[in-house]
Amino acid sequence: MAIIDKPQGGFIIVMSVLLAMIFMLMPLPEGLRYFRPEWVLLTLMYWTMALPRRVGVGYAWLVGLFMDVLLGGTLGILAFAYALVIYLILHFHLQLRQFPLWQQALSLMSLILLVHVITVVMTTKITGWHAWLPAIISTVLWPIIYIFLRGVRRTFHVR
Amino acid sequence: MYPVQLMASFPSDIGHWTSDYFQSRTDLKEQNVSLKATNLLNSVRLQKLASLERENMRLHELLGSSFRLSERVLVAELLRVDSDPFSQQVVINRGERYAVFEGQPVLDARGVMGQVMSVSHFSSRAILLTDPSHAIPVQINRNGLRSIITGRGLAKPLQLEYLPQNADIRVGDLLVTSGLGGRFPVGYPVGTISAISRPAGKPFANIKVQPAADLATSREVLLVLPRVDDDVIDPVDEIDVVEAIESVEIIDAFESIESEGVE
């Protein structure tokens, strides 16, 4: 491995985020609507942890802006929330990488909850207990997503 | 954004298409029979409607006021795309290209669904009656009592606001749009009153309304077009209701009934 890696595979990162966006929009059966994992946020979190120099706060802010438009929310709220969370991950990425997967998932749960708290505080949504379901589902799915994206990163040599 | 939305709705579109394609002949036959029956019923009602409309207009003429009767509509389809589950919105496959504009009323076959909230080139986003930030001016069809209906979120009935405890309301009353406010055309059904409670010590009655439109299941929606022949009505700006009603000539209304066409 060279001492200074040339960045490569930016296309793969963009495609994975786009795919996550499509998953966010894909219609689910009525009963499962509240159980949708935060695909986009999880994907961003993975790339930030793996490649903190490539995917950072600016990237997260831009993606959050897109998500605001796609989900029809108030423009800027998700952008802010995503940027904040990705900043925290950037700050702690060395620690997070050392954790076993379940511990990583639990720490990420607190960050996903932070996103939900921000959107609940800043909008006039009517919420109930199921406002917190996506965070829990995302936590449960984190190990799978992590292993999958790691496979993608290694296959396509994204650095 | 439209390509992403289109991709997201693609798998379920395929599912829908295959189930359409493999529908059995007997199913289609049954459907055909029932559609014919409803068509017959509807056309019988329509015969009566034409004469009633004319009678109504004559009476209005006698009273010295003019009256708007029919609007032209644009048929659109919902994109199979989910939004944030905590706000009530849908995405429609018509946008700026079809001159969809912000605030345009959205109807389905049974009643008012909501209004257009934002427009992009190929698609637009509509806010539903059930969204907590949506309100619509209505009147009770039976006695003309005016009020406002606000949304309370998914799976909760709408709320009829600001009617005093002793107001003349009954369970089962039909609520129609009043046209005040200038956004929605007059006389489309919004919902029926499903429950009334009169809590002691509160100035207003607590009235629940069941929406008339199939908010959860409708696929085709109708976008009400502004009348092109009225110079007064500028679809983008706020509509001055009084001026708009006064300026419409009765003959216009007659013609538009005869040449009523759904795109």
Residues B34-73: tens digit of each pLDDT: 999 999 988 888 888 888 888 887 787 776 654 555 677 8
Residue of A nearest to B156 (CA): A126
Task: Provide the terminal-to-terminal Cα distance of chain B, rounded to the nearest Å.
Answer: 26
Whether the per-residue pLDDT at B192 is higher than 90: the answer is yes
- The letter for the amino acid at B119 is V
If you count them, how many residues does chain A have?
159
Rounded to the nearest 5°, which phi and psi values hold at B30?
-55, -45
Burial string for B45-67 (b: 16+ CB within 10 Å, else e) reads eeeeeeeebeeebeeeeeeeebb
Checking DSSP bridges between strand B220-224 and strand B105-107, what pairing results, if any? Answer: antiparallel
Integer Cα distance of B46 and B49 in angstroms = 5
Percentage of residues of chain A with pLDDT beyond 90: 58
More confident position, B23 or A113:
A113
Distance from CA of B18 to the nearest CA of A (A): 17
The residues in B 59-78 lying below 8 A from A, measured between CB atoms, are none
Point out the residue among B84, B118, B132 whose CB comes nearest to the CB of A71: B84
pLDDT (average), residues B103-120: 90
Question: What integer pLDDT is reported at residue B132 of this predicted model?
Answer: 84
Question: What integer pLDDT is reported at residue B239 of this predicted model?
Answer: 41
Tokens coding B32:
């055909």
Tell the burial category of B171 from Cβ atoms under 10 Å away from its Cβ (0-12, 13-18, 19+).
exposed
Distance from CA of A27 to the nearest CA of B (A): 5
Checking DSSP bridges between strand B73-77 and strand B220-224, what pairing results, if any? Answer: antiparallel
Whether the CB of B80 is below 8 Å from some CB of chain A: the reply is yes
Query: Is A72 in Cβ contact with B117 (below 8 Å)?
Result: yes
Query: Is B152 in Cβ contact with A126 (below 8 Å)?
Result: yes
More confident position, A152 or A74:
A152
Question: What integer pLDDT is reported at residue B84 of this predicted model?
Answer: 73
Whether the per-residue pLDDT at A124 is higher than 80: the answer is no
Question: What integer pLDDT is reported at residue B199 of this predicted model?
Answer: 87
Question: What integer pLDDT is reported at residue B106 of this predicted model?
Answer: 92
Whether the CB of A74 is below 8 Å from some CB of chain B: the reply is no
Whether the per-residue pLDDT at B16 is higher than 70: the answer is yes
**Is the separation of the CB atoms in A89 and A100 below 8 Å?**
no
Residue of A nearest to B87 (CA): A125
Contacts of B4 in chain A (CB under 8 A): 18, 21-22, 25, 70
Burial string for B221-230 (b: 16+ CB within 10 Å, else e) reads bbbbbbbeeb
Q: Which residue has the tokens 């309370």?
A: B152
**Is the separation of the CB atoms in B71 and B183 below 8 Å?**
no
Size of interface A-B (CB pairs under 8 A): 64
**Is the separation of the CB atoms in B151 and B132 below 8 Å?**
yes
Question: What integer pLDDT is reported at residue B255 of this predicted model?
Answer: 46
Short-list B153, B102, B109, B108, CA closest to B124: B102
Point out the residue among B4, B80, B152 whose CB comes nearest to the CB of A22: B4
More confident position, A2 or B19:
B19
Element (H, E) at A144: helix A133-155
- CB within 8 Å of B246: residues ≥ 6 apart: B66
Short-list B121, B120, B124, CA closest to B106: B124
Helix, strand or coil for residue B176?
strand
Tell the burial category of B126 from Cβ atoms under 10 Å away from its Cβ (0-12, 13-18, 19+).
buried
Question: What integer pLDDT is reported at residue B228 of this predicted model?
Answer: 52
Range from B87-91, B205-209, B255-259 carrying the lowest mean pLDDT: B255-259
Question: What integer pLDDT is reported at residue B68 of this predicted model?
Answer: 55
CA distances to B84, B129, B151, B187, B237 from B159, in Å: 22, 10, 6, 19, 28
Range from A130-139, B19-28, B103-112, B159-168 carrying the lowest mean pLDDT: B19-28
Whether the CB of B246 is below 8 Å from some CB of chain A: the reply is no
Integer Cα distance of A115 and A109 in angstroms = 10
ipTM above 0.85, yes or no: no
Whether the per-residue pLDDT at B112 is higher than 60: the answer is yes
Whether the CB of A140 is below 8 Å from some CB of chain B: the reply is no
Q: Biggest alpha carbon distance in chain B? A: 61
Percentage of residues of chain B with pLDDT beyond 90: 22
The residues in A 14-73 lying below 8 A from B, measured between CB atoms, are 18, 21-28, 30, 33-34, 36, 66, 69-73
All domains in chain B, ordered by first residue: 2-54 (no CATH), 68-131+218-258 (2.40.10.340), 135-211 (2.40.10.350)
**Is the separation of the CB atoms in B114 and B91 below 8 Å?**
no
pLDDT (average), residues B226-244: 46
The residues in B 114-153 lying below 8 A from A, measured between CB atoms, are 117-118, 125, 132-133, 152-153
Query: Is A30 in Cβ contact with B216 (below 8 Å)?
Result: yes
Element (H, E) at B115: strand B112-119
